[in-house]
Amino acid sequence: MAPPLLFLRDIHLTFGGTPTLEGADISIAPGERLCLVGRNGSGKSTLLKIAAGLIEADKGERFVHPGATVRYLPQEPDLTGFATTLAYVEAGLGPGDEPYRAAYLLNELGLTGDEHPANLSGGEARRAALARVLAPEPDILLLDEPTNHLDLPAIEWLEKEIGSLRSALVLISHDRRFLENLSRATVWLDRGMTRRMDRGFAFFEEWRDQMLEEEERDRQKLDRKIVAEEHWVRYGVTARRKRNVRRMANLAALRQERRDARRVTGTVRMTLTDGEESGKLVIEAVGVNKDWGGPPIVKDFSIRVARGDRIGIVGPNGAGKTTLLNLLTGVIPPDSGRVKLGASLEMVTLDQRRESLDPETTLSDTLTGGGSDYVEVGGERKHVVGYMRDFLFSPEQARTPVSVLSGGERGRLMLARALAKPSNLLVLDEPTNDLDLETLDLLQEMIGDYQGTAIVISHDRDFLDRVATSILMSEGDGRWTEYAGGYSDMVAQRGAGVARKMAEKAEAPKESTPLPAAVPERSVRRKLSFKEKHALETLPRKIDDLAAKAAALHERLADPSLFAKDSKKFGQLSHDLAKVESDKTKAEEEWLALEMLREELEG
């Protein structure tokens, strides 16, 4: 095995109170794809900062191979001191790096390079920071939540871009699909220590549960041994006044070992308080139109939402997902058309930016409304400290202001407040932001068992696959289409939506200006090979054949009753369509690359 480019050994760090890291290890070999997982607050970001050299550990060893380049993506990048985003990205390039990649990556991430850092939103700043760390193609990439603030097209593009790099990778993310597709090894940070599995994240949860079961068995053995020794102390030697000193010392050591063993942090306990049953028809929208004085956000949109539906709303940033959600729930009126809400609706909303949380209010008052120590949950009074424990808040945090909470803690607080209210319509705008994987699991189960109706906006593909019964997808120009099933079913029916969009972007004149620079100089001096010429001639026919097959499958899947009558057949046809669309996209991309190369060579 190749020697590591970077390793951390026996890392200890304490910020006061309980140690954050107690003997954590990590090792990164050339080209290795590693994901770092653990609960919110377990120290993942801290360990990554130590790996990047930004924090010094109290104890332990850090080694970086001489000459190895390391790039670190923080959760909150600092762009101060730079005139434009392009200048910020170019400042991260080394002497031998390709300068064209700065403009290319900014363009792919939806930025022009001319933006002033002071005017950027949080999401735009993250995109610029992503371009800065990816542009040099470093030996080691340390990425802390790279998908935060990215929409689905950008996430899928980023996944493909990182997959094409030869850099070693250490990745922290709450996006399951992103972790599964990119990781080849997993490091679990738990109670200050790390455990490694040389398999990707797809196998993590089974391995983690097995480790915890073994740990619980060892703890039970230790408990039984302590009980046996205590029994001997009390009753074992009744004829002797002086007890065996060695056995007493062993008992003290066993008790100390028991005290030192840090138990697994408790799990979130979520229960939704169901309201009265709503009518069978929850929402009906007919011919709805909406714009804000510019291009249409929603155009001639109609839908019927029945009780028990789980609707996922997806699309790129700026497509109008939140506007559509507000139209469907009656928060804003349409410009034309009508929206009818069903009878006996009790709606609970979780907003995207946590704006309804008062930063100066304490956790206790946020949950109780102030003036009481009890929360009404499911018609029963529950003490606020006990309810806080269900969402992993300690009793000491009851009087803590909301302003000092982390993003993950604010997400849990919003969930705790929303779920205490009786409802039969659950409206969630980006509920998965900043939630750890275990909390996401429980949220998915809770929505699955919910007796009412749920409408969810999310960029988390795995979450949508597990929760949604249908997907509302933005097709552009204010058009929205409903697809049966989860996110993967939508992609199969719609085709390679993101790939198609990227291809259209490549063909647009304003987007293609930096691309010629990406062609190496030596390519200009050669001619097309026989194989490339043959591919240029035959690929259009192949693309037409695949398009015909896709059209035929689309026609069969368009039958609205197919999913209800034969879900297996629907799944098989969706799978076949995904394969055909994938082959078609690859053929189109191959033809486009060859055609651009031909133009470069002839030009």
Query: Rounded distance, CA 436 to CA 441, Å?
Result: 9
Q: Is 322 annotated as a binding residue?
A: yes
Q: Is 565 annotated as a binding residue?
A: no
Q: 162 near 169, Cβ under 8 Å?
A: yes
Is 23 within any annotated ligand binding site?
A: no
Total Cβ atoms within 10 A of residue 259: 8
Is 40 part of any known ligand binding site?
yes
Is 43 labelled as part of a ligand binding site?
A: yes
**Cα–Cα dist 163/160, whole Å:** 5
* 565 vs 529: CA distance, rounded Å: 51
Q: Are 528 and 597 a contacting pair, CB within 8 Å?
A: yes
Determine if residue 403 is labeled as part of a ligand binding site.
Answer: no
Which phi and psi (to 5°) does residue 61 adopt? -120, 135
Please state, in angstroms and rounded to a whole number, the distance separating the CA atoms of residues 152 and 594: 28
Go through 362-377 and write b for each residue having 16 or more CB atoms within 10 A of its CB, e for each that does not. Answer: bbbbbbbeeeeeebeb
Q: What residues have CB less than 8 Å from 62, skipping those under 6 apart?
A: 6, 7, 8, 11, 50, 51, 53
* Residue in 34, 31, 68, 41 with CA at minimum distance from that of residue 52: 68
407 is in an annotated binding site: no
SS3 per-residue string spanning 205-253: HHHHHHHHHHHHHHHHHHHHHHHHHHHHHHHHCCCCCCCCHHHHHHHHH
User: Locate tokens 């390709």: which residue?
Assistant: 98
45 known ligand binder:
yes
Please tell me whether 318 is known to bind a ligand. Answer: yes
Beta strand segments in 351-419, E: 374-377, 380-383
Q: Is 495 annotated as a binding residue?
A: no
38 is in an annotated binding site: yes
Between CA 76 and CA 83 the distance in angstroms is 19
Binding residues: 38-45, 315-322
Binding residues for ATP: 38-45, 315-322
